[in-house]
Amino acid sequence: MEHLILVRYGEVGLKGKNRRYFENKLMRRMEQALKGLPLRGIHRTYGRLYVTMDGEVEEALHRLSHVFGLVAASPAQSAALDLEEIKVAAVQNMQRAAAEGYTTFKVETRRPNKAFPIKSPEVNREVGAEILRQVPNLTVDVHSPEVTLRIEVREERAYIYWQELSGPGGLPLGVSGRSVLLLSGGIDSPVAGWMAMSRGLEIVPVYFHSFPFTSDRAQEKVIDLCRVLARYSGMIKLYVIPFTKIQTALREGGPEELQTIFIRRMMMRLAGGVAEKERAEALITGESLGQVASQTVSGLAATEAVVDLPVLRPLIGLDKQEIIKRAKELGTYDISIRPYDDCCTVFVPRHPEIHPNREAVAKKEAGLVTPELLEQAIAEAETLLITSD
Ligand code: ATP
Ligand code: MG
């Protein structure tokens, strides 16, 4: 039996001439998400996508609800452009709703196909009356119904549905290019990565690992964070870059108050190296203004001065409570608060420089870490392919 899922998308539809491109990307992302399930096809008509399946609709809906660009998905039934057929489908739908314990409903019809001779209010009345005749224990409530049965009368067929699963919205992954995400085990950077993805940016995460200062538990945390992000992106390629030698060199040769900023600059350079390998066009961090001493405007400036790529900071205007709220919704919060140190908390200076001067930083940093040491770190990077849990 063929099952139908009706997909609505928002922003993607608004993109004028680029619309086809966005729709194609979205359809490809949906196909990817549905891989391994009995998919028949994905079709489009103006403003809607139709997914047909041979089964496993629940799983398909779950996966689709993680595809960026998608606003909502509904299991639907289609009917010929004939009021009697529409009634049959509507009654079947409401029988299911009644079986699930719902008791009040209303019918809401849209009729983009003006060639269909019966106007929406009349369809509502006729179908509503038929449901009341055929399905026991249901009453109409036009103001706050438990179930809204929707009927869309389109060019070729009519579509009937009442359930709806929200998607994340935003833009299909990839339409904005590709970026490297500096992913620590903290609360912020996974949220920053998700926000970048929601604007269509693919991400390649890098994690700087300072074993034995930070344990392998810290790395497991980052892997688990990637598993959550992979629900939205499909397989993720994580770079784990050994950072111990660099960090040690910085600590032995440089003043304590500049350690944080030095570390950040090294991370930027290395992330830039990965970006080159991965043909990524931007770096993403979880920084936001004022959260810690290094996250002042001059701190951020001294940090990004060492790379040519744009450094995007999706969290820049969010306060910690808002970030935590988003991390909880995303499902990364509980992973992030597991109590393992990251490399920055191991060596936090007692009196960090809050307003570092770029030139002064560069001067004091010179010679501490050789280009060879940086190249070696990239050459020794491990890449892990991570899928969703
Ligand atoms: P987070 O919750 O992301 O760790 P934070 O507020 O703790 O954020 P910092 O530790 O100061 O911030 O780090 C700022 C940003 O630098 C992080 O959001 C992340 O993008 C990057 N970063 C820090 N440590 C690492 C690391 N070990 N590996 C990769 N990126 C890192
Ligand atoms: Mg951190």
pLDDT at 59: 96
Where do the domains of the chain lie? 3-166, 178-386
Q: Where are the alpha helices (H) located in the chain, listed in sequence order?
A: 19-33, 57-64, 83-99, 120-134, 188-198, 216-233, 244-253, 259-278, 297-304, 320-330, 333-336, 343-346, 358-365, 371-379
- Does the domain at 3-166 match CATH 3.30.70.360? Answer given as no
Q: How far is the CA of 342 from the centre of ligand 2 (A)?
A: 6
The pLDDT score that the predictor gives to residue 14 is 62
Model pLDDT, residue 86:
98
Give me 229's structure tokens. Answer: 């992000």
Q: Tell me the ligand closest to 300's alpha carbon.
A: 1
Q: From ligand 2's centre to the CA of 341, what distance in Å?
A: 9
What would the DSSP string read from start to end of 295-359? Answer: -SHHHHHHHHTT-SS-EE-TTTT--HHHHHHHHHHHT-HHHHTSS---HHHHT--SS--SS--HH
DSSP 235-265: SEEEEEEE-HHHHHHHHHHS-GGGHHHHHHH
pLDDT value, residue 1: 81
pLDDT at 360: 87
- Ligand 1 atom at minimal distance to the Cα of residue 218: 27
Q: Which of 189, 270, 335 to mutate to test the pocket of ligand 1 (most atoms within 8 A of CB)?
A: 189
Dihedral class, residue 191 (left if φ above 0, else alpha if ψ from -120 to 50, else beta): alpha
Q: Could you tell me the distance, in angstroms and rounded to a whole number, from the CA of residue 287 to the centre of ligand 2?
A: 9
Token pair for 193: 């990565």
- Nearest Cα residue to atom 2 of ligand 1: 186
pTM reported for the whole predicted model: 0.92
pLDDT, tens digit (0-9, with 9 covering 90-100), for 315-327: 999 999 999 999 9
- Cα–Cα dist 364/22, whole Å: 47
CA of residue 77 to ligand 2 center, whole Å = 48
The pair of three-digit structure tokens given for residue 382, joined into one six-digit string: 């491990």
Which ligand 1 atom sits closest to the C-alpha of 209?
27
Counting ligands in written order, the one closest to the CA of 327 is 1
Ligand 1 site-directed mutation target among 182, 326, 337, most atoms within 8 Å of CB: 182
**Is the bond preceding residue 212 a cis peptide, omega within 30 degrees?**
yes
Query: What does DSSP assign to residue 370?
Result: -
Q: Which ligand is nearest to the CA of 323?
A: 1
Ligand 1 centroid to Cα of residue 186, in Å, is 6
Q: Is the CB of 239 under 6 A from ligand 1?
A: no
Residue identifier of the C-alpha nearest atom 7 of ligand 1: 186
Q: Is the CB of 214 under 6 A from ligand 1?
A: no
Contacts of 126 (CB under 8 A, 6+ apart): 83, 87, 118
Q: For residue 94, how far is its CA from the centre of ligand 2 (angstroms)? A: 51
Q: 363: closest CA among 254, 287, 217?
A: 254
Ligand 1 atom nearest 336 alpha carbon? 2
> Phi first, then psi: what are they for 281, rounded to 5°?
-110, 0
| Residue 221 φ then ψ, to 5° | -60, -45
Put the strands of the sheet holding 177-182 in their side by side order. 311-312, 282-284, 177-182, 201-209, 236-242, 382-386
Average pLDDT per block of 10 residues along the chain, 389 residues long? 92 68 93 96 89 96 96 96 97 96 97 96 97 95 97 95 96 95 96 98 97 89 98 97 95 89 96 97 94 80 95 95 97 92 62 84 89 95 95
Give 152's Cβ-side CA count (13 Å radius): 19
Among 183, 184, 220, residue to substitute to test ligand 1 (most atoms within 8 Å of Cβ): 184
Contact call for residues 210 and 247 (beta carbons, < 8 A): yes
Residue 346's pLDDT is what?
55
Q: In the prediction, which pLDDT does 61 show? A: 97
CA dihedral (384, 215, 316, 70) positive or negative? positive
CATH class of 178-386: alpha beta
Task: Give how far Cα 341 sits from Cα of 261, 336, 353, Å.
Answer: 18, 11, 22
Q: Do domains 3-166 and 178-386 have the same CATH topology?
A: no
Q: What is the pLDDT of residue 254?
A: 84
| pLDDT value at residue 207 | 98
